[in-house]
Structures are given as C-alpha cells and as structure tokens.
Structure 1
Amino acid sequence: MKVILHIGAHRTGTTSFQMYMRREAAGLQGQGIGFWGPARTRKGLFAGIQPVPGLGATAAQRARGRILLQMDRAAQNGVGTLVVSDENMMGSVRRNLRARALYPDVGERLARYVGAFDGRIDTVILSVRALDHFWASTAAYGVSRGHAVPDAHGAMQIAMGARTWRDVVQDVACAAPGARIVVAPFETSAARPDTMLAIGTGASVPVDRTPDRLNKAPGPDALRSILTDRGEDPDQIARGTGRWTPFDISARAMLREAYADDMLWLVAGADGLATLTEDLDHARAGQTPPYGPRTRGHPPHDKQERRMAEPRGS
C-alpha cells in the first residue's frame, strides 16, 4: 500500500483539503484511494505516538499496532493508496506561538509517525505559505483560541527568528529519508485540493466543484469581540475590516525576505531533498526559476546573512 502523509502546515488550507477528501470519499474509494483525517487520527488512532508524561514506550508500540492493523484492513478492502491528513503531525499553533519559532520539533515528531507506519511512507506533502501571512494567520487563530495577543517585542522576535521553511523541509526530509517530499505553496494550492491530491497520488481524481476556503482566520473586529468576551482589552487589536497582523512594516519586510530566500532554495532544487510544485498543473516546478539572484538561499547568501527587503505597505 502506498501511504501519503499530508502534514499541513497549519493555516495553509488543510481543513479545505480534508473536507474535499471526505466529500469525495465514495468516488475516491472506487479508485482505490482511502482517507484518514482528523476525525479518525485524533480519536485514539494516534494516541501514544508522541511521548506523554506517565506513559512508557508501550503506548507507542500499541499505537503502531493499531495503525498497522487498520492499514491491513484497508488493504483488504481494496485500498491501494492511503492518504493520511492531519496538520497536528507537525506540531501545533500554540507551540509555534509559545516558541516564537516555526515548528521547532517537527523532525522528532514526524520521525515517530514514520516509525508508527513501519517506515511505509511513500510521499509527504507539505504546504508552505508566505511567512508574513502565515504568522499573521497563526496569531489571529491563536488569539481566537485563548492565546495572548503578541506584543511588539514578541512579534519582532518571530520576524527575526532564524528558522524558516527551509529548516522545516530539511527536518521533514531527515525524518522520512525514504519518502518523496512534495512542497506546495499555499498561494497556488489553497483553493485546489483536487490537484494537490492528483500530484500526491498520480491518479485522476474528482474535480473540486465547491472550492471553499474553510477555517479562515478571524478579522480585526471578530478578534476585538473575542477579547471583550474574555474580559481583555479589545484595543490590543486595531479596528479594521481586512487581515489583522501583529507585525509592523519592518517585521513584515523581514518575513517576506526570508520567504523569498526559501522559495529560491526550493526552486533551485532544495539540495535534492524536496520537489517544489509551483504550478499545480504540473508535477514539478517549471524550468525557468523566478527572476532574482541565483545564489540567494545558498551559502554564503543563505538566510543567516539575508539582506533586508525595502519595507512596503501591507
């Protein structure tokens, strides 16, 4: 059985992808494509894979046994390709905000899932998003779920963080060394779950005729209302109708620059670790990379010495 892990990241259209998979379950099953989403993975199937205080190694062994048993059952029911989608495999929004870093332990976490699947992972699909938008969406979602509003110092710490998508891709590749790593930018993949599935499976899949964007980040007024209901100062969030961001112009410029370096590294081949899918009508990136210095994203022009972008408006 071919096993495909769709690991997210959060805030990159994972809920829409999972809804598409559930909506088209019958048609996909007819093509031998099975689906495990959060409705299954978070109701006991994955329990014990990640260390839990008070539980020993036997919990992970039992989780591995459950997964392999259900994989065998799926195979007996005609499933040749199993798509497993759960962004929490990478970590959590709360963990990112607390650490002010991009999935700091994704390598260790994913390695445990790879072990739980007995190393049978064929493909890992990772979605990335422009870092200024990713962190703004992450912060808004976190605030709506009880996290404190990031102050100016905290927002700048995030923007100045050394960890970017390049580090995440490298960690994922190390955790799943035998798997094909596919990276899909949110900007071209969020509204196209069907095409993303086709790239992962290599099959002709049902067209998504209801491309809804689900689980959108709340806007400024909604966040102000949430803070008011919690008894907190709503003026921590400026009034407005567009996307809320805790970052000033300089911080946004730093995050944009880091993402540009990440994308150039991916376009240049990601050191052979991953395949970037810029155009979801093709399985690989185009032959002509974006205009810009070809050495950016690689030493000595890597992210540790990246230049600052000129600040622009939002």
Structure 2
Amino acid sequence: MDVILHVGAHRTATTTFQHHLAANRGALRAARATYWGPKVVRGGLFRTMSGGTDPILPWQAKRAAKRAALRSEALRQDGIKRLIISDENMLGSLRNVLEDTLLYPGAGRRIAEFAQGFQKHNLTIGLGVRCYSHWWTSALAFRLMRGGPLPRADLRERMVTQPRRWRHIVEEIARAVPDARLVVWTHEALSSAPHLQLHALADIATIPASLPILNAAPRGTEVRRFMTDCGLNAEEFTWPDNRFMPFEMHEADALRAQYQDDLTWLAEGAGGSADYIDAMSAQTDAQTVEGRGSSDDGEHRYLA
C-alpha cells in the first residue's frame, strides 16, 4: 500500500488541501484510497504525540507506531491502495516555532517517529514551503490574535537571523526517512491548486474547485483593531495597503533572499533529496492566494 504523509508546513494552505480531500471522498474511493485528517490523527491514532510539542517520548512513538501499523494493515486487507494522512502538526507546533524563534527544530526526527508505523508500505512525504517574509508575517498575525508575541525589533531580528531554512527541513526529513519519496512545492505556486498537490503525491485525479478562504491570516484591519483594543500602539508597525507587515524593508529583503537561495537549491535538484514540483503549476491557471485555508471535514479549526 502507498502511504502519503502530508506534513505541512503551517500557513501554506494545508487546510485547503485537507478540505479538497474531504470534498473528494468519492474520487478517493474510486481510486481505492482513503484520507485521515487532523481529527483522526489528533483524536486517537497519534493522540500522544500529535500536539506539536517537542520532544516526542519513545514510549509515545512506540505505541502510536503499533496503532498505525494495525490500522494501515487493516486498510490494506480491505483493498485500500493509498492512504493519505494530513496534519501540519507532524512537523511541530506553530506556537513552539514562534516561542523558540526557530524553524521547526527536530522536524526530521518528528517525521521519522510518525513514519514508524508505516514501515511495511511505500511512503511519500509532502511538504509545502513559503517565502519567509510572508510565512513569518502570517504566523505572527495568526498567533497575535491568540495572545502571541508582538513582532518588535528584537523578535524580528531573531527571525531574520535564525539559522534554519526550508532546505534544512528537507535535508533532515530525507536523512531521517531515507526510503521515503519526499515531494516539495511552494505556497506561491500551488496553494490554490490542491488537486495538483494530490496528483503529485498520490497519482489521483480530482476536479479543481473554488474553495472558500477560511482559516486565513487576519486582515490588517482586524490586527489593528485587536491591538487598539488591547491598548497597544499599532503605529509601531507599517500597514501598506492596510496589510499587517511587521518587517522593515531591509528585513523583508533579507528574508526574500534566503528564500530565493532555497528555491535555487530545490530547482537544481535538492541534492537528490526531494522532488520539486512547482513546474506542475504551469498546467493550470491557478492563482496564488496568500494564507488560504479552510476547515477540515467542515470542522472549524485554528491550527493550520
């Protein structure tokens, strides 16, 4: 059986992908495929290790691997050919990333722990990445509305200078799960084309559909109102076109340059560690939607 782990990252339209899967269960059944979303992953299968916190304890990983092995084998015996699992918390929690000001520390180890239960199957891992200036901004806005940190100068400096890049995440996962196929795409190219992501990951054709924009980063007006209501000075930050943009120009330029280095590395073959599929976006007229997302299986969520 083919097992596909769609591991995120956060703020890269993960819930758009999950919504697309939930809305196309008929097509999945026809392809002898099934989908486990965050409700399944967090609700029981990996309940002791899916909160996104670090570290995952050995006994937690061992028990979860046994549960996953039993359930996946039962699916195989029922004739299922493809199992698709999507939960961005497999990489770690967004809250911890912001608290540590470090991009998914231990990502490779975490994904290896989740992959333990599928050792008898063909494993594919899917990862979406996004320009750091937009990714950090979306993460900050999302967490700010839930009591997260204000992006003052010291925090922004740590975000710009923190050493981890998407390239390191890709290399860590490739080393940690060497027998898996690793597929990487960008939010800019494929956020509004979950059908292309699915085709690349599982070779399943679905019809493109217009999806509602839910679970997106809050608009600039919402962030300003929230800050004012909390007695904070919103004028500390710039608001181009009424958008929340915490980074100064030189900071955003540095983050974009870091991202361009990642994309160049991916386009040059990623050292043989991953399949970079952005070229697929040329097959559609899909337009990028920043921060796009929707609820998993119709359940309102706040984690993507």
Q: TM-score, normalised by structure 1?
A: 0.82
> Retained in 2: the 8 A contact 1:36–1:85?
yes
2:212 is aligned with 1:198 = no
What aligned pairs does 1:100-179 form with structure 2 within 5 A after superposition?
A: 100-118=101-119, 120-179=121-180
Paired position in structure 2 for 1:23: 23
> Retained in 2: the 8 A contact 1:114–1:120?
no
Aligned partner of residue 20 in structure 2, secondary structure = helix
Q: What amino acid sits opposite 1:120 in the alignment?
A: H
Deviation string for 1:162-211 (max 9, x for gaps)? 211111111111121101111111111100001110011123x2212223
Paired position in structure 2 for 1:272: 272
Q: Which is worse superposed, 5-14 or 100-109?
A: 100-109
Paired position in structure 1 for 2:290: none
Paired position in structure 2 for 1:257: 257
**Larger Rg belongs to:** 1
2:199 is aligned with 1:207 = no
Deviation string for 1:260-290 (max 9, x for gaps)? 111111111111111111222589xxxxxxx
For residue 228 of structure 1, report the CA deviation from its aligned partner.
4.5
Q: CA RMSD in A?
A: 2.4
Paired position in structure 2 for 1:187: 188
Distance in 1 between the 2:258 and 2:281 partners?
Answer: 26
Q: Which is worse superposed, 69-78 or 6-15?
A: 69-78
Aligned partner of residue 8 in structure 1, secondary structure = coil
> Retained in 2: the 8 A contact 1:5–1:123?
yes
**Which has the bigger relative contact order, CA under 8 A and spacing at least 6?**
2
Q: Note closer, same or farther for the CA distance 1:217–1:35 as it changes in structure 2 (3 Å cut).
A: same
Aligned partner of residue 83 in structure 1, secondary structure = strand
Q: What amino acid sits opposite 1:149 in the alignment?
A: L
Give identity over the alignment, percent. 33
Q: Note closer, same or farther for the CA distance 1:82–1:56 as it changes in structure 2 (3 Å cut).
A: closer
2:238 is aligned with 1:247 = no
Distance in 1 between the 2:122 and 2:102 partners?
Answer: 27
> Retained in 2: the 8 A contact 1:223–1:237?
no
Paired position in structure 2 for 1:33: 33
Q: What amino acid sits opposite 1:278 in the alignment?
A: D
2:78 is aligned with 1:77 = yes
Deviation string for 1:31-75 (max 9, x for gaps)? 11110110111112112347989x974433322222122212322
Q: Note closer, same or farther for the CA distance 1:150–1:175 as it changes in structure 2 (3 Å cut).
A: same
Q: Note closer, same or farther for the CA distance 1:281–1:224 as it changes in structure 2 (3 Å cut).
A: closer
Paired position in structure 2 for 1:303: none
Paired position in structure 2 for 1:8: 8
Distance in 1 between the 2:252 and 2:212 partners?
Answer: 27
Deviation string for 1:218-268 (max 9, x for gaps)? 122211333345565555555565431211011101101001111111111
Deviation string for 1:98-125 (max 9, x for gaps)? 1212112211211111123336352111
Distance in 1 between the 2:220 and 2:281 partners?
Answer: 35
Q: Which is worse superposed, 224-233 or 107-116?
A: 224-233
Size of the aligned set, in residue pairs, is: 281
Paired position in structure 1 for 2:218: 218
> Retained in 2: the 8 A contact 1:49–1:116?
no
Q: Which is worse superposed, 65-74 or 237-246?
A: 237-246
Q: What amino acid sits opposite 1:135 in the alignment?
A: W
Q: What amino acid sits opposite 1:160 in the alignment?
A: T
Distance in 2 between the 1:46 and 1:163 partners?
Answer: 27
> Retained in 2: the 8 A contact 1:152–1:246?
no
> Retained in 1: the 8 A contact 2:109–2:173?
no
Gaps of 5+ in 1: 284-314
Paired position in structure 2 for 1:46: 46
Distance in 2 between the 1:243 and 1:153 partners?
Answer: 21
Q: What amino acid sits opposite 1:208 in the alignment?
A: P
Q: What amino acid sits opposite 2:167 in the alignment?
A: R
Distance in 1 between the 2:118 and 2:206 partners?
Answer: 27
Q: Note closer, same or farther for the CA distance 1:171–1:58 as it changes in structure 2 (3 Å cut).
A: closer
